[in-house]
């Protein structure tokens, strides 16, 4: 049986409480009526009693005068006989005006000792269970004596009770009828309706117990039945609509998944040949070339890097759109970081003869712990736009300290670690932006003027990505511009100061000579012939001699079972068996010393890196491979790996 919802139970209790309150209210009214009737009846009967006694005594005054003045015994007996006709009078004491007892009478069923006269009482009072009346008697308008009457209260009480019953009983019957009618015609039907509300919207609300009349509850039941049917039909329509929306949502999610996979695959497929282009360009840079050849190599490198930037922008936009971007904190040196952001534009700055000014507030801490990569991406986009849209003139990069913020949650040597609020701004003297175009420049694939993409190039994603990254860091990218006079972009961000930065992240270490590790056994697992030759060329230039190359993971497993391997450069996507599966199998083998595995992949998504590390790889290099990065990672791997002259045969 379905349990009654709490809200319905509460409504039932409320309805029952309402009936109880009405009952209590009616009972209070009844009690008030009874008390009023009692008061009125008591007052009217006592006043009538006093009036009757006064009339009687005044009427008997002549007889009493004969009895007292003439000492007439027959008059005295007649007086007593007349008094005895009033059964309610239990005793009567008559006094002169000087309070001398003149006559005393009592009925046959009382004793004198119980009815002592109260000479000094005046008016109406109660004595035990009787009324005590003490008033003067008048004859011809003059008081002639005083009397004290003990009057039985039993008749008065009976009269009062009868009168109360006469007054109250009809009202009591009326209240009972009202409560009975209310319970059976209102409260009970409403309780039934409230219990049926659990079915509201299901189309099964039962109102068959109600007669089709004009009563309010019946009308309410019929209206609720209509509402039930209406909600049921609407609910059915909504369920159908929700199912369609769910299907469309699933299709959209599937489309986004396919889009994400497509973007990742496209990035991989483009980066793989780009790895060869940029890689062999780096090899050519190390050769002795004439001036014209070096210039041509530089042009190739710039073109390849420009293409890589476009690929990265499209991929970053796809990740931001899918919400797959997370902040990754690392230590960095601010001044080194700023110069690293400027380095890619030095050639264009020289060619355009643009003066770049760098202004860093001296109060800013030297080291910070923040997402260096995202801040670098924003500044690179802003500097790239400034260089692109400034034909001549100057560009100013300023970093200002806005505020020092103490963080009480992190203590270093009993001193609070500080956060500093910095303002990064890039100002140029370029072509500027028209006021009506300012609101659109942060939109995806949008530039201030349609001719800009033809004249200056670009995808129109740089500012959109930068704006989204600012929002990810809980800040905003702001802009001010005047057409023909230049533009300034700025954003404020809170950064945590760092007293002990990691040395590796604060400098760009590059060792071109690794010949001291020439006895290390290196296995390259790569299916692309171009990339095989590129990696071998890099390794040869480092002075490394023991290099073996296989085409896929299956051959890699077979090779390491018979040969000593210290370091493996493992491509992730290969035919037959990819690098992830090959690494997982290698980690299950029994080694004297396991090889140091470095992932090589053109997939630059963060989850790909986590996937590689989870599979058992020790490090990660994205394609296109940077020669300096490869050198640094290899040296780190060699320092943590001892060369093996012989590797025993392993069993999977």
pLDDT in tens, 178-214: 878 777 777 777 777 777 777 777 777 777 777 676 6
Residues 596 and 566 sit within 8 Å (Cβ to Cβ):
yes
- Cα distances from 549 to residues 100, 532, 562, in angstroms, run 150, 7, 14
Question: Positive or negative CA dihedral for 75, 77, 80, 81?
Answer: negative
Query: Confidence band (pLDDT; 50, 70, 90) for 504?
Result: very low
Residues 375 and 417 sit within 8 Å (Cβ to Cβ):
no
Question: Tokens 């049917």 label which residue?
Answer: 229
Encode 13-40 in three state secondary structure: HHHHHHHHHHHHHHHHHHHHHHHHHHHH
Query: Residue 121: its pLDDT value, please?
Result: 67
User: Is residue 67 over pLDDT 80?
Assistant: no
Query: What residues contact 633, with CB distance under 8 A and at least 6 apart?
Result: 598, 619, 621
Higher pLDDT: 126 or 322? It is 126
Residues 445 and 405 sit within 8 Å (Cβ to Cβ):
no
3-state secondary structure of 263: helix
Query: Residue 34: its pLDDT value, please?
Result: 80
Query: Confidence band (pLDDT; 50, 70, 90) for 649?
Result: very low
Q: Which of 170-174, 364-368, 533-537 has the lowest mean pLDDT?
A: 170-174
User: Is residue 269 over pLDDT 80?
Assistant: no
CA dihedral 399, 401, 407, 410 (to 10 degrees): 40
Query: Confidence band (pLDDT; 50, 70, 90) for 113?
Result: very low
Query: Confidence band (pLDDT; 50, 70, 90) for 400?
Result: very high
Query: What residues contact 377, with CB distance under 8 A and at least 6 apart?
Result: 316, 465, 466, 469
Encode 153-200 in three state secondary structure: CHHHHHHHHHHHHHHHHHHHHHHHHHHHHHHHHHHHHHHHHHHHHHHC
**What's the rounded mean pLDDT across residues 21-28?**
79
Q: What burial class does residue 343 get, using C-beta atoms within 10 Å of its C-beta: 0-12 exposed, 13-18 middle, 19+ buried?
A: exposed
Which of 502, 509, 508, 491 lies closest to 369 in space, CA to CA? 502
Query: Residue 360: its pLDDT value, please?
Result: 92
Q: Tell me the two tokens of residue 66.
A: 């004969």
User: Is residue 317 over pLDDT 60?
Assistant: yes
Which of 193, 250, 262, 189 lies closest to 227 in space, CA to CA? 193
pLDDT digits (tens, 9 = 90+) for 210-254: 767 667 777 777 777 788 788 788 888 888 888 899 999 888 888
Instruction: Say how far apart CA 103 and CA 217 lie, in whole Å.
Output: 75
Instruction: Say how far apart CA 503 and CA 377 lie, in whole Å.
Output: 22
User: Is residue 651 over pLDDT 50?
Assistant: no
Query: Confidence band (pLDDT; 50, 70, 90) for 270?
Result: confident
User: Is residue 106 over pLDDT 60?
Assistant: yes
Which of 652, 646, 602 lies closest to 624 in space, CA to CA? 602
User: Which uninterrupted H or E stretch holds 126?
Assistant: strand 123-127
Query: Residue 8: its pLDDT value, please?
Result: 47
Query: Confidence band (pLDDT; 50, 70, 90) for 19?
Result: low
Share the mean pLDDT of the chain. 78
Ordered DSSP codes for 513-542: --GGGTT-EEEEE-S-HHHHHHHHHHHHHH
Higher pLDDT: 256 or 245? It is 245
Query: Confidence band (pLDDT; 50, 70, 90) for 448?
Result: very low
- Angle at which helix 462-472 crosses helix 291-322, to 10 degrees, equals 50
Instruction: Say how far apart CA 56 and CA 95 lie, in whole Å.
Output: 16
Query: Residue 595: its pLDDT value, please?
Result: 92
Query: Confidence band (pLDDT; 50, 70, 90) for 120?
Result: low
- Angle at which helix 6-69 crosses helix 73-84, to 10 degrees, equals 170
**What's the rounded mean pLDDT across residues 388-416?**
72
User: Is residue 14 over pLDDT 70?
Assistant: no
Query: Residue 1: its pLDDT value, please?
Result: 41
User: Is residue 647 over pLDDT 50?
Assistant: no
User: Is residue 555 over pLDDT 60?
Assistant: yes
Which of 534, 511, 512, 510 lies closest to 524 in space, CA to CA? 534
Query: Residue 315: its pLDDT value, please?
Result: 67
Query: Residue 411: its pLDDT value, please?
Result: 42
Peptide bond between residue 624 and the one before it cis (omega within 30 degrees of 0): yes
User: Which uninterrupted H or E stretch holds 218?
Assistant: helix 216-285
User: Is residue 28 over pLDDT 60?
Assistant: yes
Ordered DSSP codes for 268-319: HHHHHHHHHHHHHHHHHHTS---HHHHHHHHHHHHHHHHHHHHHHHHHHHHH
Query: Confidence band (pLDDT; 50, 70, 90) for 395?
Result: very high
**By percentage, how much of the chain surpasses pLDDT 70?**
81
Query: Residue 319: its pLDDT value, please?
Result: 66
- In 513-624 the beta strands, taken as DSSP E runs, fall at 521-525, 546-550, 567-571, 596-601, 619-622
Q: What is the pTM of this model?
A: 0.48
User: Is residue 418 over pLDDT 60?
Assistant: yes
Query: Residue 617: its pLDDT value, please?
Result: 92
Q: Which of 121-130, 265-274, 540-549 has the lowest mean pLDDT?
A: 265-274
Largest CA distance in the chain: 174
Which of 397, 386, 459 lies closest to 423 in space, CA to CA? 397
Higher pLDDT: 270 or 594? It is 594
Q: Which of 95-99, 531-535, 543-547 has the lowest mean pLDDT?
A: 95-99
Question: Positive or negative CA dihedral for 206, 210, 214, 220?
Answer: negative
Question: Tokens 């990691």 label which residue?
Answer: 502
Query: Residue 650: its pLDDT value, please?
Result: 40
Query: Residue 566: its pLDDT value, please?
Result: 92
Q: What burial class does residue 130 get, using C-beta atoms within 10 Å of its C-beta: 0-12 exposed, 13-18 middle, 19+ buried?
A: buried
Query: Confidence band (pLDDT; 50, 70, 90) for 70?
Result: low
Which of 283, 345, 275, 263 lies closest to 304 in space, CA to CA? 275
């Amino acid at each position: 049986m379905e349990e009654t919802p709490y809200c319905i139970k509460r409504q039932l209790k409320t309805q029952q409480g309402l009936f109880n309150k009405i009952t209590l209210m009616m009972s209070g009214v009844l009690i008030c009526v009874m008390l009023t009737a009692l008061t009125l009846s008591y007052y009217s009967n006592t006043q009538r009693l006093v009036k009757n006694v006064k009339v009687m005594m005044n009427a008997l005054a002549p007889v009493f005068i004969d009895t007292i003045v003439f000492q007439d015994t027959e008059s005295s007996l007649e007086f007593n006989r007349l008094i005895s006709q009033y059964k309610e009078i239990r005793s009567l004491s008559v006094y002169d005006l000087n309070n001398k007892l003149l006559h005393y009478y009592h009925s046959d069923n009382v004793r004198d000792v119980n009815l002592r006269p109260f000479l000094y009482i005046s008016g109406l009072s109660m004595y035990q269970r009787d009324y005590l009346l003490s008033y003067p008697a008048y004859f011809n308008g003059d008081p002639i004596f005083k009397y004290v009457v003990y009057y039985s209260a039993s008749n008065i009480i009976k009269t009062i009770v009868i009168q109360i019953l006469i007054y109250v009983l009809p009202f009591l019957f009326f209240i009972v009828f009202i409560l009975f009618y209310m319970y059976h015609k209102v409260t009970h039907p409403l309780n039934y309706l409230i219990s049926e509300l659990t079915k509201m919207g299901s189309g099964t609300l039962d109102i068959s117990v109600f007669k089709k009349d004009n009563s309010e509850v019946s009308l309410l039941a019929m209206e609720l039945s209509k509402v039930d049917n209406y909600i049921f039909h609407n609910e059915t329509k909504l369920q159908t609509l929700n199912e369609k929306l769910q299907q469309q949502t699933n299709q959209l999610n599937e489309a986004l998944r396919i889009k994400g996979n497509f973007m990742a695959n496209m990035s991989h497929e483009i980066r793989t040949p780009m790895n060869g282009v940029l890689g062999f360009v780096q090899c050519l840079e190390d050769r002795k070339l004439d001036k014209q050849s070096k210039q041509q190599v530089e042009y190739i490198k710039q073109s390849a890097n420009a293409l890589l930037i476009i690929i990265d922008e499209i991929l970053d936009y796809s990740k931001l759109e899918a919400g797959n971007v997370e902040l990754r904190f690392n230590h960095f040196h601010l001044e080194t970081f700023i110069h690293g952001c400027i380095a890619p534009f030095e050639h264009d700055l020289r060619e355009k003869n643009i003066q770049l000014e760098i202004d860093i507030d001296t109060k800013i801490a030297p080291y910070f712990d923040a997402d260096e990569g995202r801040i670098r991406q924003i500044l690179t986009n802003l500097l790239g736009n400034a260089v692109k849209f400034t034909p001549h003139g100057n560009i100013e990069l300023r970093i200002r300290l806005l505020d020092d913020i103490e963080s009480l949650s992190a203590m270093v040597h009993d001193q609070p670690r500080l956060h500093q609020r910095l303002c990064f701004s890039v100002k140029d003297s370029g072509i500027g932006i028209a006021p009506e175009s300012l609101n659109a420049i942060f939109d995806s694939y949008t530039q201030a003027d349609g001719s800009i993409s033809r004249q200056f190039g670009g995808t129109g994603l740089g500012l959109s990505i930068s704006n989204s990254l600012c929002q990810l860091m809980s800040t905003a990218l702001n802009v001010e511009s005047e057409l023909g006079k230049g533009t300034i972009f700025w954003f404020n961000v809170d950064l945590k100061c760092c007293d002990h930065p990691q040395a590796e992240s604060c400098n760009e270490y590059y060792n071109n000579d690794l010949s001291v590790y020439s006895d290390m056994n290196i296995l390259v697992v790569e299916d692309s012939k171009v990339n095989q030759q590129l990696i071998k060329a890099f390794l040869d230039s480092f002075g490394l001699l023991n290099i073996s190359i296989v085409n896929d993971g299956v051959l890699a497993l077979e090779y390491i079972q018979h040969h000593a391997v210290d370091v493996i450069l493992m491509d992730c996507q290969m035919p037959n068996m990819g690098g992830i599966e090959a690494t997982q199998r290698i980690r299950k083998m029994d080694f004297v010393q396991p090889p140091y595995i470095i992932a090589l992949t053109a997939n630059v998504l963060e989850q790909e890196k986590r996937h590689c590390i989870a599979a058992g790889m020790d490090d990660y290099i994205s394609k296109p491979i940077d020669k300096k990065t490869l050198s640094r990672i290899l040296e780190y791997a060699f320092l943590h790996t001892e060369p093996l002259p012989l590797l025993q045969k392993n069993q999977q």
